Structure 1
């Protein structure tokens, strides 16, 4: 297959842990050809198909100089067997516009994973609200008084922006309510931006688990991101320690319930975040943790993903 990865600059990859790199490595091992571009390389001109300025790429196996790239060329997205949208968050207006170009490319015959419409329809924090049976007490609002009432009821709460990533902008407010007003003003920008508020889950000490779902099926191991020191955030980007574990019975229950629903909507890959027994986020833009799970358990997640990609690109799922 000819594969196009839409991602952040290859030069920025930390290949010892990067999931997109793991996908590329497994795809090349199977004989598939690789190309890469940035979201800003997408072009749609009147009367023409959606195209991109792409670089054909080969992986070298050298960790210090890991890819060789050909000069930029123009190619329609429909000319590839699969297009993988792997741009990291944030989901800003440019990401939103990119999904519209990708959806047009689909109408022209391109096969895009995850589906552009599914990316738009599943904002990673708000998406959990569709599954109330699997989440803890949660509120989405702009109203400071709503937040004050939620805090009064639950005492120990977490506040986070809806468009954050990697643990950015997450605050914990305890029973004393210290700085709740200031934090609310910071996050809701004086009532102009919605905020997610959740009851604090003390099980975070055991890790914020990333449960991966590929082709609607759970990967049997998760990565628990464990906060270090006095930090409340388990995100790897915030210094959390990643420990791979087998899925718990509750993890299986959640993944087996959500997996078929997400897959039916065009989400070939999703990362469900679970603290204790509660879902806290559903990641769909560029879920990670492939390499950490593989290194610690021997479960080759990239192999499972490329299997599912080959099946989906061939129209068998």
Structure 2
């Protein structure tokens, strides 16, 4: 708890007025309140005294201004009252189409895939930003930071890695490293991740399948045996590392630690190496408008930089007592000029 107070003090928390906050999310019935970080953020926002609205990302749109319409980017906003019951977690107290300029801040929390519709949402949100709307994470930063490829900017922290769709290059990398992880660049939740040994009889067909016969670029990384101790999710809020991470331990017989793939999350304090990585990346990413980032670290190596909808807040609070969702709202208040 002392860590929580120190963290929020560092972020200059303490709101003096109520904010009107919109969370751009997937359809509310699809959110699993007992583990969803977006729900935790909305609950924290209401606890801090703010008005909470949810906007289904599918309703975002833009209209040219005319004599009858103000124009700009808008969405169908649902005014919410949050409840503690995870199976009946909200009450809708109003619903109307609203311009995004009506909100003090818009929090982009739609989950991947980062497909054309997600890309379109970032363009719409960037247009709203040009109209004076505060959007976090910033739309341009979401586009500029591929969650797999962003590690290329920080190679000193990454494991041996190859990004390619060239079969000969990929085969050579497997021969060199002997034991590798192959993954698509647009995957999430551990989807389509393969561990391939040099002598794997299926290596050719795996490469053919993942690359679509050489038509799709993929990532290959040296297999890190430290995954047995967890794929650590480290949260950065306003450039500062949350003092607890969630180590996602693979289930028996699995390579992937992702919770969606059956991994078990264990909260633990950051190691010295974890802090080194987090403190090196945090200020750089925050300066670009990334208020919330999730770093994936296996052993001593950075493997991914998650910017779309980083999660694990609920598990960290349940096991450590650290309220990352509350710290995020404190950081959001500060971004809105409250102190």
Q: TM-score range by the shorter chain?
A: over 0.9
Take 1:260 and 1:240, find their aligned partners in 2: how far apart are those partners? 30
Equivalent in the alignment of 1:173: 196
Unaligned stretches of 5+ residues in structure 1: none
Equivalent in the alignment of 1:229: 252
Equivalent in the alignment of 1:97: 120
Equivalent in the alignment of 1:14: 32
My pick for the range that moved more, 182-191 or 243-252, is 182-191
Classify 1:307/1:315 alpha carbon distance in 2 versus 1 (closer, same or farther; 3 Å): closer
Secondary structure at the aligned position of 1:213 is classed as strand
Secondary structure at the aligned position of 1:50 is classed as strand
Deviation at 1:30, TM superposition (A): 1.2
Task: Describe how 1:1-317 pairs up with structure 2 within 5 A.
Answer: 1-47=19-65, 48-314=71-337
Take 2:36 and 2:226, find their aligned partners in 1: how far apart are those partners? 27
TM-score w.r.t. structure 2 length? Answer: 0.91
My pick for the range that moved more, 205-214 or 299-308, is 299-308
TM-score w.r.t. structure 1 length? Answer: 0.98
Deviation at 1:10, TM superposition (A): 1.2
Secondary structure at the aligned position of 2:26 is classed as coil
Secondary structure at the aligned position of 1:273 is classed as strand
Q: Which has the higher contact order (CA 8 A, sep 6+)?
A: 2
Deviation at 1:315, TM superposition (A): 8.0
Count the aligned residue pairs.
316
The root-mean-square deviation of aligned C-alpha atoms, in Å, is 1.1
Unaligned stretches of 5+ residues in structure 2: 1-18, 66-70
Secondary structure at the aligned position of 1:177 is classed as coil
Runs of 4+ in structure 1 deviating by more than 4 angstroms, as ranges, are none
